[in-house]
Chains A and B, each alone.
Chain A
Amino acid sequence: SSHLPRSPHVFPQHRLGVREPRDMQREIREVLGLPGRPRSRAPLATAQQPASAPLFMLNLYHAMTDDSGNGPPQPHLHRADLIMSFVNIVEHDRTLGYQEPHWKEFHFDLTQIPAGEAVTAAEFRIYKEPSTHPPNTTLHISMFEVVQERSNRESDLFFLDLQTLRSGDEGWLVLDITAASDRWLLNHNKDLGLRLYVETEDGHSLDPGLAGLLGQTAPRSRQPFMVGFFKASQSPVRAPR
């Protein structure tokens, strides 16, 4: 090995130029998956009211970092290494003044889901207040994915989940939308549309708002949102530098 070329095994040290730290930081943030440019915060007044999705995600963060295991059980948490919450960008209602059935629709922009992530679970969370329309009644709440919207007839829908509760119940209603993830992974650029119906025991369609289900006009801490639990594929390939 004595005839090997001299290999300088001490790399030259140099101080970073003015621009370099910023470029390095941008590159490091990309590697960590943090957004490159500073996020523009909502107007101060609104930003100070706690919003539902960040509150929920902060609880998940504490559950993920709490080694004592005392916190409330989080079923999907420990199988995922990436959890994303989405606030809905558009909300449609077909309620009073239309022929039945009434429904409420929520659209989500999923373009920020990184490539190479497998969905382990997905939930739609909506807050229900006690309702007296009609009082003390059993309500069936069903959730569908809007697969294809049609201008001249009803959209193509895909059934996701059904929950039964009482009209006087209050709290967060969690609907399982994992079945919709097959399609959204194939086509990130298309918004995910979720449609919600409420029916009484005798099959009468009810306006979701009258049934106590809150939409985008609710206080920020009770607005609906969606959560996706992801597992990175085993060999994430990093883009060459």
Chain B
Amino acid sequence: TARPLKKKKLNQVNQLPNSNKHLGIFDDGHGSLDREVCRRHELYVSFRDLGWLDSVIAPQGYSAYYCAGECIYPLNSCMNSTNHATMQALVHLMKPDIVPKVCCVPTKLSAISLLYYDRNNNVILRRERNMVVQACGCH
């Protein structure tokens, strides 16, 4: 949920972190190309801010993370990629209008436990699958 950012600590709001300088793929560490490689970023989802604490008992929020960054040819090992993604990135370079870029997406997700009241005031404990990004990759 995007809202005008208030002066709060990062773990209070569902806030994207400030983008900072990262190494580009063709960059040998001296910043010739200032583009950020596909990787996992911090994102804390606050159930309080979503207004869900009317029924959610625990947790009050959780670290969900998200994937962002460039998937640029050649896709090397740190991009946790596949042969297909490598071919798509190559074809994208040749026909950018037709074949889209390779996307930076979650490749490994994990569950969280959620304790909440249902409509009948029964208390429910559910293992919600695929809620936390563990790893990102180009696909």
Which residues A33-59 have CB closer than 8 A to chain B? 33-35, 37-39, 41-42, 53-54, 57-58
Q: Sort A-B residue pairs by CB-CB distance and give the 7 closest, nearest first.
A: A9-B100, A38-B54, A81-B127, A83-B125, A57-B123, A61-B115, A39-B117
Closest to A51 in B: B123
Interface flag for A84 (CB, 8 Å):
yes
Which residues A67-90 have CB closer than 8 A to chain B? 80-87
A4 touches B125 (CB 8 A): no
If the complex has contacts A7-B98, A21-B1, A87-B121, are A35 and B55 also in contact, measured as CB distance less than 8 A? yes
B115 touches A82 (CB 8 A): no
Interface flag for B120 (CB, 8 Å):
yes
**A interface with B by C-beta (< 8 Å):** 1-2, 4, 6-7, 9-10, 21, 25, 29, 32-35, 37-39, 41-42, 53-54, 57-58, 60-61, 64-65, 80-87, 109, 111-112
| Interface-central residue, A6, A10, A33, by most chain B CB under 10 Å | A33
If the complex has contacts A1-B99, A6-B98, A34-B116, are A85 and B122 also in contact, measured as CB distance less than 8 A? yes
Cα A82 to Cα B116 in complex, Å, equals: 11
Chain A hits for B58, CB < 8 A: 58, 61
Interface flag for B50 (CB, 8 Å):
yes
A54 touches B113 (CB 8 A): no
| Interface-central residue, A35, A38, A60, by most chain B CB under 10 Å | A35
Chain A hits for B113, CB < 8 A: 61, 64-65
Residues of B within 8 A of A (CB-CB), count = 34
Chain A hits for B124, CB < 8 A: 33, 57, 82-85
Cα A37 to Cα B117 in complex, Å, equals: 11
Interface flag for B30 (CB, 8 Å):
no
A4's partner among B98, B111, B118, B123 (CB-CB below 8 A) is B98
Closest to A36 in B: B119
Cα A53 to Cα B125 in complex, Å, equals: 11
A58 touches B57 (CB 8 A): yes
B50's partner among A25, A82, A83 (CB-CB below 8 A) is A25
A60 touches B125 (CB 8 A): yes
Chain A hits for B114, CB < 8 A: 32, 34
**B interface with A by C-beta (< 8 Å):** 1, 50-52, 54-58, 91, 95, 97-101, 111, 113-129
Cα A7 to Cα B54 in complex, Å, equals: 44
Closest to A86 in B: B122
Chain A hits for B97, CB < 8 A: 6
| Interface-central residue, A9, A25, A109, by most chain B CB under 10 Å | A9
Question: A32-B128, A83-B124, A112-B118 known; 8 other A-B pairs, CB under 8 Å?
Answer: A35-B116, A39-B117, A39-B119, A57-B123, A57-B124, A64-B127, A82-B126, A85-B122
A1 touches B98 (CB 8 A): yes
B128 touches A54 (CB 8 A): no
B4 to chain A, nearest CB (A): 12
B34 to chain A, nearest CB (A): 21
Closest to B97 in A: A6
Closest to A60 in B: B125
Cα A39 to Cα B55 in complex, Å, equals: 6
A54 touches B123 (CB 8 A): yes
Cα A39 to Cα B123 in complex, Å, equals: 11
A159 to chain B, nearest CB (A): 26
B98 touches A58 (CB 8 A): no
